């Protein structure tokens, strides 16, 4: 009888042991710089990435369970919000800036159009708590997650036994966002000299136009230098957006906004911080003849960027080579159904 008891106890003990989280292998291109985000402090695991993906697409992270991160960050639009000039949240509210695409985030040292967030693990806090976006109280959200048996199990699998807290929540989201990387466009294939990869004559001409007139701010291979610049956009009197000056309180940052990456740019209209341009040719026209002079205008665009009709066309063809179809169609990044 004693042996039988020990055997049953041993089996039950063995069955209750959970395997530890499995490391997630993140493949990064050799021709990219080293990531800024320190993943050694939040090691990617299969379970952590899966949890972050589920959270990213779960509308229950919003106050009324209608808006998920993926609602505004649509994969087919390079995780921007296609055809929406401004962010769109609960109660049919709108914000005062457009939704930036989410990709190559581990190479960014700060986030948002004004750089108001300086860490990937803090970035989700803003949209989750913004009353015009997801509008949820962080404490209430943590309580809701702790009351969900499936989430408790997934958090335990990813981070070990314990209560769900804000650090674990944001680390899970950061792990998923760390996998949202775009570096398999036609441009990349050409630069890496892969077999059969070459620009068409129009794409090659467009690349030369880009290098001459755009590359100073949109530096390869990320196609942004991560800086904040006043690119000559007329002030929007309806939004009263002073740009980075809202963060630094420095008049020298008036109307300065983050230089966005041009990767996947043709998949993510409208353009600029307020979504004022619905077509990329409107952007070309702005730089060619729409620059407004203000005290903080960037010297690189102060005199405009002359672009002929043929150069605009060729530039369009080159920008099309920056579309990463592998990224925007990746099943690993796609929306998953959430069981309520």
Pairing status of strand 257-258 against strand 228-229: antiparallel
Contacts of 256 (CB under 8 A, 6+ apart): 228, 229, 230, 243, 244, 245, 296
Residues 282, 226, single domain; the answer is yes
Domain residues for the domain of 228 are 186-323
Is 283 in the same domain as 162? no
Domain-located, residue 218? yes
In a domain, 139, yes or no: yes
218 and 317: one domain?
yes
- State how far the Cα of 76 lies from the Cα of 327, in Å rounded to an integer: 9
Does a structural domain hold residue 228? yes
45 and 170 in a single domain? The answer is yes
Q: Is 190 exposed, middle or buried (0-12, 13-18, 19+ CB in 10 A)?
A: middle
Exposed/middle/buried for residue 110 (C-beta within 10 Å: 0-12, 13-18, 19+): middle
Cβ atoms within 10 Å of 153's Cβ, excluding its own = 12
> How many whole angstroms from its chain centre is CA 255?
22
Please, which contacts does 278-283 make with residues 24 or more away whose CB atoms are closer than 8 Å? 278/83, 278/85, 280/316, 280/319, 281/312, 281/316
- 294 neighbors 260 (Cβ within 8 angstroms): no
Q: Would you write out the chain's pLDDT as a tens digit for each of its 340 residues? A: 444 443 433 444 444 566 789 999 999 999 999 999 999 999 999 999 999 999 999 999 999 999 999 999 999 999 999 999 999 999 999 999 999 999 999 999 999 999 999 999 999 999 999 999 999 999 999 999 999 999 999 999 999 999 999 999 999 999 999 999 999 999 999 999 999 999 999 999 999 999 999 999 999 999 999 999 999 999 999 999 999 999 999 999 999 999 999 999 999 999 999 999 999 999 999 999 999 999 999 999 999 999 999 999 999 999 999 999 999 999 999 998 776 5
What are the structure tokens assigned to 9, written together? 């106890």
42 and 163 part of one domain: yes
Number of structural domains in the chain: 2
């Amino acid at each position: 009888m004693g042996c039988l008891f020990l055997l049953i106890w041993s089996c039950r003990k063995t069955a209750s042991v959970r395997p530890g989280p499995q490391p997630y292998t993140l493949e990064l291109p050799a021709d990219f710089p080293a990531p800024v985000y320190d993943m050694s402090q939040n090691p990617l695991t299969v379970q952590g990435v899966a949890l972050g993906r589920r959270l990213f697409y779960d509308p229950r992270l919003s106050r009324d369970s209608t808006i998920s991160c993926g609602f505004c960050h649509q994969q087919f639009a390079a995780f921007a919000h296609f055809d929406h000039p401004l962010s769109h949240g609960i109660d049919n509210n709108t914000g005062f800036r457009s939704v930036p695409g989410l990709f190559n985030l581990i190479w960014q040292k700060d986030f948002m159009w004004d750089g108001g967030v300086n860490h990937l693990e803090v970035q989700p806090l803003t949209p989750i708590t913004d009353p015009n976006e997801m509008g949820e109280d962080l404490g209430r959200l943590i309580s809701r997650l702790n009351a969900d048996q499936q989430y408790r199990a997934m958090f335990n699998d990813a981070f070990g036994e314990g209560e769900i807290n804000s650090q674990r929540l944001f680390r899970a989201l950061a792990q998923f966002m760390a996998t949202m990387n775009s570096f398999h466009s036609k441009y990349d294939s050409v630069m890496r000299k892969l077999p059969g990869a070459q620009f068409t004559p129009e794409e090659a001409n467009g690349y030369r136009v880009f290098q001459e007139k755009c590359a100073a701010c949109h530096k390869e291979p990320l196609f942004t230098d991560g800086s904040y610049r006043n690119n000559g956009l007329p002030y929007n009197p309806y939004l009263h957006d002073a740009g980075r000056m809202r963060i630094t309180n420095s008049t020298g940052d008036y109307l300065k906004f983050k230089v966005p990456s041009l990767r996947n740019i043709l998949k993510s209209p409208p353009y600029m911080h307020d979504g004022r341009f619905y077509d990329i040719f409107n952007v070309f026209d702005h730089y060619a003849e729409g620059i407004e002079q203000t005290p903080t205008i960037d010297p690189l665009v102060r005199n405009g960027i002359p672009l002929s009709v043929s150069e605009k066309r060729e530039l369009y063809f080159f920008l099309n080579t920056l579309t990463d179809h592998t990224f925007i169609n990746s099943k690993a990044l796609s929306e998953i159904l959430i069981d309520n």
